[in-house]
Amino acid sequence: MVGVQINEQWTTLADEATVEKTVAALESNGFDVFVVENGAEAKQQVIKLVPAGAEVFTAASATLAATGIAEEINESGHYDSVRKKIMGLDRATHGREMRQLGATPAYVLGSAQAITEQGYAMFASFGGSQLTSYVQGAEKVCTPTGKRTASKDDRQGKQSQQNPDRARRSVDGPCHGDSGQGAARLLISPDASQTVAQDRR
């Protein structure tokens, strides 16, 4: 069996000072931020934010899977799951409809690959499919993200997006409100944060 050496840079939890600085920067850029203690609390916070019966698309996310958020949204019957609709369609005959469903949900849930101390949220997607809903398509965006995602700046954030160790990190520690080489990337700057954090209606 081949051993895997994981870069400790991507397994270290951010300290409280970094968390506080990052939260303040995100809030000043228009994001609503909720800091919780663990994955179970993150799940409960998402349930509070997303009303029962809402149309919700869960983007591919290890964080959503590990916290049980994806299962709650897609399997509980309490929400109108866009992912379940998409999975029931044939890409060969309904490809355009599938793309439209994923691009314009009422709510999209995913996770950022990096959040910088300056209040930037950075996302990566292997195919780029969920980026449309993050930027413009969804009415509301919610991104449960672990403390290991905190980055000093956008340069370090890009390193996190490109590093294969990033996909191996476990989810634990407080949350703030699989990328790889060749993945589509998106940087949400302060100028764009209002369109990501706020209701667009």
Q: Where are the domains of the chain?
A: 13-197
Tokens at 118, concatenated: 């300056």
CB 55 within 8 A of CB 160: no
Q: Which residues of the chain have pLDDT under 70?
A: 1-12, 147-201
Pick one of 3.40.50.10420, 1.10.10.10, 3.40.50.620, 2.40.37.10 as the CATH number of 13-197.
3.40.50.10420
Whether this prediction's pTM lies above 0.85 is answered by no
pLDDT for position 100 = 93
3-state SS track over 125-184: ECCCCCHHHHHHHCCEEECCEEHHHEECCHHHHHHHHHCHHHHHCCCCCCEECCCCCCCE
